[in-house]
Amino acid sequence: MDLRLQALAVLCVCSPADKLAATADLWARAQACKSAGDDAATSLDTQAVIDPPPDQFRLPGRPELPRLVDPRQVPQRSVHTREGRAALIHAIAHIEFNAINLALDAVWRYAGMPRAYYFEWLGVAAEEARHHTMLVRHLASLGHVYGDFDAHDGLWGMCIKTADDVLARMALVPRTLEARGLDATPLIQGKLRQVGDVEAVAILDVLLRDEEGHVAIGNHWYHWLCRERGLEPLAHYRQLSRQHQAPRLRGPFNLEARARAGFSQADIDDLQGG
């Protein structure tokens, strides 16, 4: 089966355990396809326009729990309690589970991109799956499982808004919403160090390193698309942010991580001036 069709099939999977296994298998198939080229048993059709699945397959596939609520209804808990730390780790695990879906959606939905685009986002999906696994394992050490706490659906909401345009998706998901993790992670790590959760800090080190790469992929393809369409990247980013009502980003910003992730000095100056 074509890799992009497989990505859609994995996106529809509801069980976290099954989705994690299917994502790992999909990445293995993608690597084999990339290595074998035209001789691969699995193909990659970059030009195919793929129809969404029938209504009975909701997008994205996800479990009944966690219950999704308005972001303002997700309670704030102190990391100085075991329950509070578990809620924090659960929130990050939920972000990573959503990030698997975001990467898979970027693969199946958009036709006409270079082959490298699809392989890179399949690799991102595999890394996000590993992140979710690490966090859920740590969550279990705190006496909880994924689904024990309410969560919100902000990331997927932006996916819906940008479904018709890969340029808007690259602008507003990886280089806006996911890039917020570059800023937030060191602050979260500081809180976890204060309460002695060294394992969680180490896990977040891995996430921060990998997320720099994921945001860099979004930046690369955003700028590639701007060049293809003859658009000025910074001015068009401002336009897309207004059009799709992207959240206004507030500091403090992790400027070093953002620079490593491909943000230009003009981007950073605009961010700080905003």
**Are the C-beta atoms of 124 and 138 separated by less than 8 Å?**
no
263 lies in a domain? yes
97 lies in a domain? yes
Q: Which pair of structure tokens corresponds to residue 189?
A: 């790590």
For residue 126, the enclosing domain spans: 67-273
What pLDDT score was predicted for residue 155?
Answer: 87
Number of domains in the chain: 1
53 lies in a domain? no
34 lies in a domain? no
What pLDDT score was predicted for residue 35?
Answer: 85
pTM of the predicted model as reported, rounded to 2 decimal places:
0.95
Give me the torsion for CA of 81, 82, 84, 85, rounded to 10°.
120
46 lies in a domain? no
260 lies in a domain? yes
What pLDDT score was predicted for residue 274?
Answer: 55
Residues with pLDDT less than 50, the chain: none
Non-local (6+) Cβ contacts of 34 within 8 A are 40, 119
208 lies in a domain? yes
Encoded amino acid at 213, one letter = G
267 lies in a domain? yes
Non-local (6+) Cβ contacts of 175 within 8 A are 215, 218, 219, 222, 237, 263
- The residue with tokens 């996800």 is 62
What pLDDT score was predicted for residue 153?
Answer: 85
What pLDDT score was predicted for residue 137?
Answer: 98
Burial class (CB in 10 A: 0-12, 13-18, 19+), 76: exposed
CATH code (residue 198): 1.20.1260.10
